[in-house]
């Protein structure tokens, strides 16, 4: 088994091998993703919406993120494990950002952290690297900035904004991120950014030209129905499968068909 590291991702870009990444929030799913050889597991702060039922990602806390990072770590053996820094855990004071990022590695067992933001994050990224914490960047649609952006909208459609994203990507690369998430931007812009960087880009709603792709696991399994962006491909409809299992169980209990002899002790 080849353990995937931040260095492996850079080698994959050089060798033109596409990177697969999924969000993951628990031990059981982590084991299955490892069996499927998914390259990167991200304990995303999307946890707040798809697992904890919050309206957006803003209320997610460090304790919640750490709790789930530890669970994913227990099931992970091969993938690179990245933890997402929640809102206000890195934006206010450098000292707090370093301490919080460090907790993900020290207590959570993560191997890197991810932060949202463009050029304004360059200083904090450099400080994290000085503390030996690898950082993944995230630009384009940034869910933690949902109120500033006025909703979950495609970014970089206008020339000025596209240029700013291109510049941000370069600044983040220079600051030292090992990889960059591009969320909800036109695919031609993602292609331009991907070509201009030597670090790998990982797209979500950014088209086919990125060096890798990421999806939110609950979206691709058909388990989260509140928001349905165009870029989400449903690889399974687990919601229907689970509903049928629960309904069948209820019916068998009600009709006294379960438990039968096979599922009872003598
Ligand atoms: O939290 C998350 O799930 C993410 C992905 C959208 C990349 O940041």
Task: Give pTM, 2 decimals.
Answer: 0.98
Q: List alpha helices for the chain, DSSP H.
A: 6-14, 27-35, 47-50, 62-75, 94-106, 122-130, 146-149, 159-175, 187-196, 217-220, 238-254
Ranges in the chain, pLDDT < 70: none
Helix axes 122-130, 94-106, angle to 10 degrees: 50
219 pocket-lining for ligand 1 (C-beta < 6 Å): no
Q: How far apart are CA 156 and CA 223, in angstroms?
A: 29
Cβ atoms of 82 and 113 closer than 8 Å: yes
116 pocket-lining for ligand 1 (C-beta < 6 Å): no
Q: Which two tokens stand for residue 16?
A: 């033109």
Question: How much is the pLDDT for 262?
Answer: 98
DSSP conformation letters of 29-89? HHHHHHHTT-SEEEE-TTHHHHTS--SSSTT--HHHHHHHHHHHHHH-SSSEEEEEPPTTS
Going along the chain from its start, the domains and CATH numbers come out as 6-235 (3.20.20.60), 238-266 (no CATH)
Q: How far apart are CA 172 and CA 176, in angstroms?
A: 6
Q: Which atom of ligand 1 is nearest to the CA of 46?
A: 1
Measured in Å, residue 181 CA sits from the centre of ligand 1 at: 9
Question: How much is the pLDDT for 162?
Answer: 98
**Segment 165-219, tens digit of pLDDT:** 999 999 999 999 999 999 999 999 999 999 999 999 999 999 999 999 999 999 9
Question: How much is the pLDDT for 263?
Answer: 98
216 pocket-lining for ligand 1 (C-beta < 6 Å): yes
Question: How much is the pLDDT for 1?
Answer: 75
Which of these is catalytic: 64, 111, 116, 183?
Answer: 183
Question: How much is the pLDDT for 227?
Answer: 83
Cβ atoms of 214 and 42 closer than 8 Å: yes
């Amino acid at each position: 088994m080849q353990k995937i590291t931040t260095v492996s991702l850079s080698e994959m870009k050089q060798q033109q091998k596409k990177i697969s990444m999924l969000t993951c929030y628990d031990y059981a799913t982590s084991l299955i993703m490892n069996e499927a050889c998914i390259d990167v597991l991200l304990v995303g702060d999307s946890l707040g919406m798809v697992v904890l039922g919050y309206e957006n990602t803003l209320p997610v806390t460090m304790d919640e993120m750490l709790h789930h990072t530890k669970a994913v770590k227990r099931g992970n053996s091969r993938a690179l494990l990245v933890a997402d820094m929640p809102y206000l855990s890195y934006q206010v004071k450098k000292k707090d950002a370093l301490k919080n990022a460090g907790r993900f590695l020290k207590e959570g067992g993560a191997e890197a952290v991810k932060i949202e933001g463009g050029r304004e994050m360059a200083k904090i990224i450099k400080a994290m690297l000085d503390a030996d914490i690898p950082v993944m960047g995230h630009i384009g649609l940034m869910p933690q900035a949902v109120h500033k952006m006025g909703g979950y909208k495609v970014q970089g459609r206008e020339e000025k904004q596209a240029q700013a994203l291109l510049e941000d990507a370069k600044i983040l690369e220079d600051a030292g991120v090992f990889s960059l998430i591009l969320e909800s931007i036109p695919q031609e812009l993602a292609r331009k950014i991907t070509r201009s960087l030597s670090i790998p880009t990982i797209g979500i709603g950014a088209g086919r030209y990125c060096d890798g792709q990421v999806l939110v696991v609950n979206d691709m399994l058909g388990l989260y129905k509140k928001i349905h962006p165009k870029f989400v491909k449903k690889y399974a409809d687990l919601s229907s499968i689970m509903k049928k299992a629960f309904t069948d169980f209820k019916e068998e209990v009600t009709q006294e068909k379960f438990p039968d002899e096979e599922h009872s002790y003598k």
